[in-house]
Structure 1
Amino acid sequence: MKPKILSYRRNYKLIAAFVVLITVVLVFALLVSFRLTKEMVQNEFSAAKVDVLEKTMQPFNAFFQNKIPEISFYQGFLDSASAADYAQGVLKNYPFVQRIYFYDAQISNRDLADGLKASNLSMGLKGLYQFGRNIGPDSVVLFTAKKPGSLSLADGDEFNKVGIKLASYLSTVDTAEVLSGEKLFNIFYNISNSRITYMNVPRRDDIKTYKALMLKKLPPSPFFEQDVLSFQLDASKLHIRNSHPELYQNVEIKPLAFDPVLDKPHLISTDIAMPSAFSNYKLYFSSSKAFVNKEVSRRFLPVGLGIFLVYGILLLLVYQIARNLKANQKLFSLQYDFINNFTHEFKTPVAVIKIAGNNILSAKELSDLERIRYGKILDEEADKLNDLMNKLLSFTQIENKSIKIKSEEINLEVFAQNIVDAFQLKYPDYDLQLEVGVVKTFRSDPVLLSSLFYNLIENAYKYSPAGTKYLKISIFKRKKNMVFIFKDKGIGIAKEELKNIFEKFYRIQNRYNQQGSVGLGLAFCKELVTFMNGSISVKSKPGKGSVFEISLPA
């Protein structure tokens, strides 16, 4: 029948399966998060253009909503000089305004030479002026009433459009009604491609007068002043504010007819139509695929790092679990060996005691020599059992710190020599050397200190081949510590074993351990030295021997 495999080994398959699973999840999470990041960047590429348009149009909106309505503050009393001042401010602050036309208009029920007439109402011009960049003083005046009939159709076209709107409004206006913003826009603004024309808004009393002049037969009226300004715009002069440079490599103003597929097919592009007077233009956004992919990678980086961090934490947990399982398996094996060896250690003296006891019981008569021999056997085997029990009990007490250090003044030379003499009586072939420095006494617990000596001296004898049963004990003071060195010429310890020899139940597999060892000797020494606030270390070479050094606070 096959031996039963330890259950710990089966768990490694589960751990391996878990590692594979989280690795698959990692790859899946990376792929999904990368795809979602890419889609997010693509969606934002299409959506963020609205924000760029709004920021680009902010100066135009300020001009349209705030600067143009200022004309109404003059109530028609602008002249060429004040109109020139107004125009210079506009041209300076709004680069997209290329040229401004000032129509110095007048309204009456009299006949006017240059203008238009609706019913009884006439709208004519006193003068037409233009202001703009690179316009010389001799080019400012386009028309004057002093030269009637000289107004060209092209120059009068914008004036006629706003005049017709005003006449249409006057024909149906309820003079008690307050004009809303929408009606003001529809009546007094005329917006066409790259041009905005505005007539100043008359006061309510003026509107009543204009309506009466238009619909009734009244005596000739005076001339009422009205101002009309027309702004010629250039979309290319708008300052493009690319608020998303991470998405858009290039942002340009293009005509609506511009086709990016035909012009730049290798680019990722999108566009959005511009409003108001720039409705025949659009903002065109383009980026190379490499540029967009760079942004995808930049946004994906923290997400990927987060996923790898979680993966690393899971791997660390797996490692900790595997290490604990390995430690448990090792401990299980050590405990298993300990039980077997400890049982063997108990069985041997028990068997000898039983045999000796049976021989005594079955013997009809015992000679003095037999009685002495059996008594010695029983005493020695009982000592072995007692030593095993004491060692195990002491180890447990030290681990649980259930004993206290009984500090006494120890004469080191006498203390150590007595132990050496006892071992030389026990093992006549044991060559024990003792070297004590200038130090004489040491305050410590003699029982605990003797346990250290007995364990290390016994170990040195046990693990030394016949003919090399040698141990040198050196005692001296180093700074504030008392140092005890045990140097033997035994079999030595392999380098890979050194890190384990102070662990409970650990046994080096060699021919010296074939007869049983519970693996508590050096572990007991380690616990004991730690309990005494000291340290223990070892240096060893296989075949050359070992050197154990104990340092205890003096």
Structure 2
Amino acid sequence: MPNHNHYRKNYWLIITFAVLASLLFIIALGFAKKYARKLVENEFVGKKIDVLDKNIESYNDLFFNKIPEVSFYQGYLDSNSAFIYADSVLKKYAFVKRILFFDAYVSHTPTGLGITPRAVYQFRRDCPKSQVIYRANSGEKFDIRIADDFNSMAARLASFIDIADTSRSVNNDEINKFFYAVIPEKITYMNIPRKEDIKAYKQFVESEIDNNSIYEQDILSYYIDPQDLKLVNNHPELYEKIEIKPLFYATLDTDPDLLTTESPLPGALASYKIYFSANRNFLIKEVNRRFMPLALMISLGYLVLFVIGYLIYRNISFNNKMFKLQYDFVNNLTHEFKTPVSVIKIAGNNIQSAKELKEDARKLYGKILDEEADKLNNLLNTLLSFTQIENKSIKLKYEKVNLKDFCEKIVNRYQLKYPGFDLQYELKDVSTLHTDQVLLGSVFQNLIDNAYKYSEEGSKSLKITIFKQKKQIMFKFVDKGIGIPRSELINIFKKFYRVKSQYNQQGSVGLGLAFCKELLNFMDGDIQVKSTLGKGSTFLVTLPYVH
């Protein structure tokens, strides 16, 4: 018996490998899904800065670009030019609801620096012209809230003049500190005086001599409504809804699947915040989008692992099959050699021990020795020829073969060898063939031997039909034997393979059909088989037709 423990398929190892690989695959997919979900949740919080920056672009443009344009007028804005400027602001920035313009002048007073409003104008989007809400010497009262804005900016100008260095330009820190006043929902700006104006202002503060010079100074207040910011959701994959809400707004929604985050607005927008929300179900699509590439990479890795496992399994299976085939081959070959050798030895011993041999005994022993020697010779020739054909170490010896004579010789030989064997042949429109007669004879011999061996007593028959088909010659071998199971048809031409049956228990090496296949491939031909279990088999041999 072969050592099955050495080459047997370790099914438990294969199953364990498959189970572990599948578990790792499932776990990896689970971690990837969890990672994708966590990544989306983190971005839900982190990407709000991008959305915030996108939505305050217009506010930043107003604050850093449009408002400083006031300084270009150097304090000489009047009601008409202020209206034109304010109109451009109101049209471009929807969140600016109205603008107050303080037309002021700076002069010397007994107390030093004096800042006085000549008039205050109001500009609104719904008003086609400027509105005068205060004019000096008109007897009108200065609204206290408006007066507070003006006084605040006047105090800032005075503070600036107190510390101003006339040897250099005004820096950004000084601009933000003294010329901007930013509170929730309002920005107040005063134009930056020229260097010469600053020197004059310092003289107003430091000199006790009257100076009748007057300098223009413009102050504008911009009233902001953050709720009129045009919101843009530049991350629609993360945020289902974005809204402007009061700073101390708290949602009453208690849905546990609702994710929310918020970001306060800067500067004059600071009384409000941007509120972001999305349901977890809404984010599933984005989670899946992030998960799919990871799942694909994991699947590819698993596929590689599976292919490696399959190759290992196939190698083990192949080694096991080869070991079994080799074992069967050696076992059967030993039996094939042992039987004729034993018969030869018995016959030789009988001849040696006999004092005299009668003529009949002599002929019988001679026939036995001749037949068994032929068996050994045929077996050795088959093995040698098989090896030579596989190694391409023989050459075809083409000759013109008379097919009728060729078939007659074979039929006559087998009728003598197997008297009960019904062997017939038929030629259809073909008489000669240019081929290697010896190799063709080997094909015939193997197929005829199989037809006889694998047939029941009383139905041992074989009909050989030879005919042309286009540029090929066909040899059709039809027997009435036991047939071949459909599952075995794919294997019968493999070397050392034997169909397991009661007819194959004694003395089949598994080389006959494999030898035919190799011979025909070597001769540029082919062999095919059709078989019905219990009814017989048909072998169709094809060779190039050269006459």
Q: Which stretch of structure 1 is more off in the superposition, 358-367 or 184-193?
A: 358-367
Instruction: Judge conservation of contact 1:110–1:221 (CA < 8 Å) in 2.
Output: no
Q: Determine whether 1:41 maps to 2:40.
A: yes
Q: Determine whether 1:130 maps to 2:129.
A: no
Q: 1:128 to 1:10 in 2, by over 3 A?
A: same
What is the TM-score of this pair, normalised by structure 2? 0.95
Letter matched to residue 485 of structure 2: A
Residue-by-residue CA offset, 1:280-325 (whole Å, 9 max, x unaligned): 1111111112112332232112212322232233223323322332
Q: Which stretch of structure 1 is more off in the superposition, 382-391 or 174-183?
A: 174-183
* Alpha-carbon distance between aligned partners in 1 of 2:523 and 2:325, rounded to the nearest angstrom: 26
Instruction: Judge conservation of contact 1:356–1:377 (CA < 8 Å) in 2.
Output: yes
* Alpha-carbon distance between aligned partners in 1 of 2:255 and 2:22, rounded to the nearest angstrom: 42
SS in 1 for 2:76: coil
* Alpha-carbon distance between aligned partners in 2 of 1:450 and 1:330, rounded to the nearest angstrom: 31
Letter matched to residue 68 of structure 1: I
Q: Determine whether 1:432 maps to 2:431.
A: no
SS in 1 for 2:507: coil
Residue-by-residue CA offset, 1:442-484 (whole Å, 9 max, x unaligned): 2222121111111101111111112212111111111222111
SS in 2 for 1:6: helix
Q: Which stretch of structure 1 is more off in the superposition, 399-408 or 460-469?
A: 399-408
* Alpha-carbon distance between aligned partners in 1 of 2:137 and 2:35, rounded to the nearest angstrom: 72
Instruction: Judge conservation of contact 1:171–1:215 (CA < 8 Å) in 2.
Output: no
* Alpha-carbon distance between aligned partners in 2 of 1:347 and 1:262, rounded to the nearest angstrom: 94
In the TM superposition, what is the alpha-carbon distance from 1:69 to its structure 2 partner? 0.9
* Alpha-carbon distance between aligned partners in 1 of 2:265 and 2:307, rounded to the nearest angstrom: 56
The residue number in structure 1 matching 2:74 is 75
Letter matched to residue 117 of structure 2: L
Instruction: Judge conservation of contact 2:9–2:316 (CA < 8 Å) in 1.
Output: no
The residue number in structure 1 matching 2:162 is 171
Q: Which stretch of structure 1 is more off in the superposition, 255-264 or 357-366?
A: 255-264
The residue number in structure 1 matching 2:228 is 237
Instruction: Judge conservation of contact 1:12–1:322 (CA < 8 Å) in 2.
Output: no
What is the TM-score of this pair, normalised by structure 1? 0.94
The residue number in structure 2 matching 1:335 is 326
Q: Which stretch of structure 1 is more off in the superposition, 195-204 or 507-516?
A: 507-516
The residue number in structure 2 matching 1:99 is 98
The residue number in structure 2 matching 1:51 is 50
* Alpha-carbon distance between aligned partners in 2 of 1:480 and 1:265, rounded to the nearest angstrom: 81
Q: 1:75 to 1:327 in 2, by over 3 A?
A: same
SS in 2 for 1:547: strand
SS in 2 for 1:240: coil
The residue number in structure 1 matching 2:191 is 200
The residue number in structure 2 matching 1:417 is 408
The residue number in structure 1 matching 2:450 is 459
Q: Determine whether 1:20 maps to 2:12.
A: no
In the TM superposition, what is the alpha-carbon distance from 1:508 to its structure 2 partner? 1.8
Q: Which stretch of structure 1 is more off in the superposition, 51-60 or 211-220?
A: 211-220
In the TM superposition, what is the alpha-carbon distance from 1:200 to its structure 2 partner? 0.7
How is 1:49-448 mapped onto 2 (pairs within 5 angstroms)? 49-110=48-109, 119-137=111-129, 140-260=131-251, 267-448=258-439
Q: 1:217 to 1:148 in 2, by over 3 A?
A: farther
The residue number in structure 2 matching 1:115 is none
Instruction: Judge conservation of contact 1:461–1:469 (CA < 8 Å) in 2.
Output: yes
Letter matched to residue 512 of structure 1: Y
In the TM superposition, what is the alpha-carbon distance from 1:399 to its structure 2 partner? 1.8
SS in 2 for 1:328: helix
Residue-by-residue CA offset, 1:86-136 (whole Å, 9 max, x unaligned): 11211122211111111111111158xxxxxxx322111122111121125
Instruction: Judge conservation of contact 1:242–1:248 (CA < 8 Å) in 2.
Output: yes
Q: Provide the identity percentage.
A: 51
* Alpha-carbon distance between aligned partners in 2 of 1:210 and 1:195, rounded to the nearest angstrom: 27
* Alpha-carbon distance between aligned partners in 1 of 2:80 and 2:142, rounded to the nearest angstrom: 21
In the TM superposition, what is the alpha-carbon distance from 1:10 to its structure 2 partner? 5.5
In the TM superposition, what is the alpha-carbon distance from 1:527 to its structure 2 partner? 1.6
The residue number in structure 1 matching 2:488 is 497
* Alpha-carbon distance between aligned partners in 1 of 2:69 and 2:224, rounded to the nearest angstrom: 18
- Paired residues, what number? 545
In the TM superposition, what is the alpha-carbon distance from 1:24 to its structure 2 partner? 2.1
* Alpha-carbon distance between aligned partners in 1 of 2:58 and 2:78, rounded to the nearest angstrom: 27
Residue-by-residue CA offset, 1:175-223 (whole Å, 9 max, x unaligned): 2233211111111111011111111101111001011112321224222
In the TM superposition, what is the alpha-carbon distance from 1:265 to its structure 2 partner? 6.2
In the TM superposition, what is the alpha-carbon distance from 1:70 to its structure 2 partner? 0.9
SS in 2 for 1:109: strand
Q: Which stretch of structure 1 is more off in the superposition, 64-73 or 369-378?
A: 369-378
SS in 1 for 2:8: helix
Letter matched to residue 379 of structure 2: L
* Alpha-carbon distance between aligned partners in 1 of 2:227 and 2:524, rounded to the nearest angstrom: 85
Residue-by-residue CA offset, 1:303-356 (whole Å, 9 max, x unaligned): 123222322332233233223322322222222122111111101110111111
Q: 1:146 to 1:136 in 2, by over 3 A?
A: farther
Instruction: Judge conservation of contact 1:87–1:100 (CA < 8 Å) in 2.
Output: yes
In the TM superposition, what is the alpha-carbon distance from 1:367 to its structure 2 partner? 3.4
Q: 1:265 to 1:351 in 2, by over 3 A?
A: closer
Instruction: Judge conservation of contact 1:104–1:228 (CA < 8 Å) in 2.
Output: yes
Q: Which stretch of structure 1 is more off in the superposition, 146-155 or 329-338?
A: 146-155
SS in 2 for 1:415: helix
The residue number in structure 2 matching 1:536 is 527
SS in 2 for 1:537: strand
Letter matched to residue 132 of structure 1: R
Gaps of 5+ in 1: 112-118
In the TM superposition, what is the alpha-carbon distance from 1:28 to its structure 2 partner? 2.1
Letter matched to residue 323 of structure 1: R
Letter matched to residue 43 of structure 2: E
* Alpha-carbon distance between aligned partners in 1 of 2:372 and 2:181, rounded to the nearest angstrom: 123
Letter matched to residue 65 of structure 2: N
In the TM superposition, what is the alpha-carbon distance from 1:521 to its structure 2 partner? 0.6
Letter matched to residue 182 of structure 1: D
Letter matched to residue 377 of structure 1: I
Residue-by-residue CA offset, 1:39-70 (whole Å, 9 max, x unaligned): 22221111111111111111211221111111
Gaps of 5+ in 2: none
